[in-house]
Amino acid sequence: MQRRYAKPPLVEALCEFQFIPTGEWDMTIPGLIYERIKESFPEKKQTIGIGIQMHPTEKGIEHRIEPAPPKIQFIKKDKCALIQVAPNLLVVNQLKPYPAWENFKKMILDNFHIYKEIATPKGLKRISLRYINIFEFQESKIELQDFFKFYPSIPKDLPQIHGPFLMRVEFPYDSDSEALVLSLGSTIPAKKNTIALLLDIDYRTIKPESVSFDEIPDWLDKAHNRIEMAFEACITDKLRESFEEAKA
């Protein structure tokens, strides 16, 4: 049974569609999409395209910032959601306050169908559903195991008090055609002498065209269920209590 929280730690949920390129990108597509959604998403903004790529070198993995196609953002009136469009890319973002899953799913599908009708993509290169949570603690030190079941294990021969950290694990699903990527790490707190941790849960396809356009609604439900299961598996009851679970 799905849990409901009065104070969920979720700060952003997003669904990203990467489409298989079919040729030169038609620059009129963003404008045509805007005409269809401008009543709900009236504000337009263009973001500078920047991508981070990983390249193997003799010294290990090197991260390089490289140019990427700029995105056109269409922002909702209340600033709590936006649609992002770029060549062969559609992203649907939901910020706080997060509505029920059924509402977010409808927003994803409504805007996907508009993009599909106007851009006529060939197929899906990848689809990803991602939930980003931030946990804020008023203390300057905490015991991670009191709040999380997913956390770094420090060997006893190393100092048990540590600073900022980042851990990432990828779990294969459905015969390695899909994956759930789980990341937990430190983030910048809103107040001094406090702690903030970020839990990022990303469920994605791995193999191109493994999901057809008609299968997207069912895939979204499956991805959402697996994300919820991962979230609940990562936290303890002590942390769960701070979200104030709503009783049915």
Of the pLDDT bands very low, low, confident and very high (cuts 50, 70, 90), residue 4 is confident
- Kindly tell me if the per-residue pLDDT of 54 is higher than 80: no
Strands 166-173, 178-187: pairing is antiparallel
**Domain definitions of the chain by residue range:** 21-122, 130-248
Which tens digit of pLDDT belongs to each residue from 5-24?
989 999 999 999 999 998 88
pLDDT digits (tens, 9 = 90+) for 60-112: 444 455 556 689 999 999 999 999 999 999 999 999 999 999 999 999 999 99
pLDDT in tens, 206-245: 999 999 999 999 999 999 999 999 999 999 999 999 998 8
Reported pTM: 0.89
Phi–psi pair at 202, nearest 5 degrees: -125, 115
State the Rg of the chain over Cα: 20
Q: Residues 143-164: what's their mean pLDDT?
A: 86
The rounded distance, in Å, linking the Cα atoms of 71 and 16 is 13
pLDDT at 57 over 80: no
Distance between CA atoms of 210 and 208, rounded to whole angstroms?
A: 5
Residue 66 phi, psi dihedral angles, 5° rounding: -125, 155
- Cα dihedral 83, 117, 220, 202, rounded to 10, equals -40
| Average pLDDT over all residues of the chain | 90
